[in-house]
A and B are shown apart, each in its own frame.
Chain A
Amino acid sequence: MQKKFGGAAIFLDRSDINTDEIIPAKYLTEVTKEALKPYILEDLKLDGFDPKGDDLKNATVVVTRENFGCGSSREHAPWVFEVNDVHTVIAESYARIFRQNMFNCGMLAIELPKQDIDALMALRQAGKVTVAVDLDAQKLTAQAGDQKKEFSFEISQFDKALVEAGGWVEFADARY
């Protein structure tokens, strides 16, 4: 089943945020996804960011910079987003395994060029930002206060098929 995308955005304005920051290794002893929920981004140190704050609690979209999700292969990183209803990540670029894990879980890891991420980040001045995703048109619409911006993105046929199938297990099981 396809997941829901878009919604209120939170901004993590730094490159190279690694999976240890997204979900620390000490929680890898959990054997259910749900148990990870309270620990999202617990070790991320970033000005103005509070891992226990309302901004993160309300967010369903993460906007960030380059090489997001680098480091460990732990799928706990996408899972901690999944169980917190963050199904959409928008970044300048990703580490390979994290990106694949997102699509394998039927979630979206969207890549936008730096100037678009800059524009998205700038939109924060106008108020809280919400993002709408149109997968078929490959378009994002971001809105804050009375300001609205549109961006187009690329998604490969395979990644789209994974999102539509609800993930790689469903896709592979139907096919191999």
Chain B
Amino acid sequence: MGKTLAEKIFDSHLRDEPFSGTKILNLDRVLCHEITTPVAIADLIWREKDRVFDREKLKVVIDHVTPSKDTKTATQAKILRDWARRHEIPDFFDVGRNGVCHAIFPEKGYIRPGFTVIMGDSHTCTHGAFGAFAAGVGTTDLEVGILKGVCAFREPATIRINLNGTLAEGVYAKDVILHVIAKLGVNGATDRVIEFRGSIVDAMSMEARMTLCNMAVEAGGTSGVCMPDMTTVEYLWEFIKGDFSSKEAALEDYQQWISDDDAGYADVLDIDVSTLEPQVTFGYKPDCVKTMEELSGTPVDQVYIGTCTNGRIEDLRQAAAVLKGKMIADSVRGIVSPATPKIFQDALKEGIIQIFMDAGFCVTNPTCGACLGMSNGVLAEGEVAAATSNRNFNGRMGKGGMVHLMSPASAAATALTGVITDARTL
């Protein structure tokens, strides 16, 4: 029997199998941010093991609360900053150069097909869009990753989701993934890798693939993955052109990771997305999903566009296309947070920032900010937000607040009217 992409990566990175079923993998990337890493650093110091396995393979960013908002977050940033300097970690991103981890690391070309990647962050699954095995872990796994460059996994089985048909105009990757999560349920893919396949994925940009893979964990998935193809090569080309004689040669090399035709899957789902409409969550679990039309008219207090799910340039373009020349409703606070400085600059050059500002949006620096209710737009008790993020848990954006997850176009339309609005009806 053939192998899946995940199985191929497990085979090629296997360091040890101390017990049957437990695989210790060598890591290509250990990613760090200031929320989960400081405790690992403190523990390493306490154990008198303040070392790193390979400073080139560590990539470090301050992103969740930045610039720091108070003494506590400043202390977290300082612990990370001091540590990065102490170990001379070359790729460390601080205020002014920092952005949301799952947007900035791919943008810098750090993620490649066939890589193993961990981070103390559940949305690490985003990086699977490059044909990598990328998994969120806790701080202890992160600590061992930093120190030893290994991580233990039970080899996950793969669920293959074939996305076929044609996406209607105004329907995006976010709508597709919300629909998939609604089908699978919040634990439908626990201990599984979700493989996104089919003509829809083939036609998607890397940005859209990252949106898909980003939310794999909302169905419980260890990682979401897409097969590397010419789109992957094109995205990475500026970083890999020294390694390959041509794009074709890079593609040929990357194809070694593609799942074999006769690979074994835990489950195969065929989803035709041709009739899919813009989706939105209700309630407090990401698998509670309806169409925008079904919830239309629901008032919101704040619209938040950004995050590792939908804060990339394509997302801002989609929102700006809806907002152009219009003003948001008086009852709404609009906040947009381009996910990285590069995205911010591109948006500036393209006139997108101007469109947001003319529409009455507050444009913030790149940060996670309100996504996890820590800064930059925390909700008050009883308030409702429309957001392009990935989690609608009770209190996620602020105690007692609620969040409706949707695409950037839907969020923009909702900002214009102040109530949940399908952008296609404007």
Contact = CB atoms under 8 A, between A and B. Distances in A.
A24 B399 contact: yes
A56 interface: no
Contacts of A88: none
A95 B220 contact: yes
A158 B394 contact: no
Interface residues of A, number: 45
Contact of B393 (A18, A26, A175): A18
Given A97-B137, A168-B144, A173-B147, A67 B187 contact: yes
Given A73-B36, A74-B36, A168-B141, A93 B47 contact: no
A97 B139 CA distance: 10
B42 interface: yes
Kindly name the residue among A21, A71, A175 whose own CB sees the greatest number of chain B CB atoms within 10 A: A71
Contacts of B285: 16
Contacts of A157: 18-20, 22
A26 B70 CA distance: 12
Interface stretch (B5-13, B73-81, B337-345): B73-81
A89 B169 CA distance: 48
A10 B372 CA distance: 29
B72 interface: yes
Given A73-B137, A168-B140, A24 B395 contact: yes
B187 A176 contact: no
Nearest to B21: A156
Contact of B137 (A66, A95, A100): A100
Given A75-B139, A100-B138, A29 B76 contact: yes
A157 to B, nearest CB: 4
A176 B148 CA distance: 7
A172 B144 contact: yes
B176 to A, nearest CB: 22
A75 B283 CA distance: 25
Nearest to A66: B187
A104 interface: yes
Contacts, number: 147
Interface in A79-100: 93-98, 100
Contacts of B136: 73, 97
B108 interface: no
B63 interface: no
Interface string B370-409: 0011100000000000000001011110010000000000
Interface residues of B, number: 57
Contacts of B148: 172-173, 176
Interface in A126-176: 156-158, 161, 167-169, 172-173, 175-176
A175 B152 CA distance: 12
Contacts of A161: 18-19
A100 to B, nearest CB: 7
A172 B122 contact: no
B16 interface: yes
B190 interface: yes
A30 B186 contact: no
Leading 6 A-B pairs by shortest Cβ distance = A101-B138, A75-B138, A104-B140, A157-B19, A29-B72, A158-B22
Given A156-B21, A173-B144, 13 more contacts: A20-B395, A24-B395, A25-B374, A26-B374, A28-B374, A31-B39, A31-B42, A32-B39, A96-B191, A97-B122, A168-B141, A172-B148, A176-B148
7 contacts: A16-B186, A18-B393, A21-B393, A29-B73, A157-B19, A168-B152, A169-B140
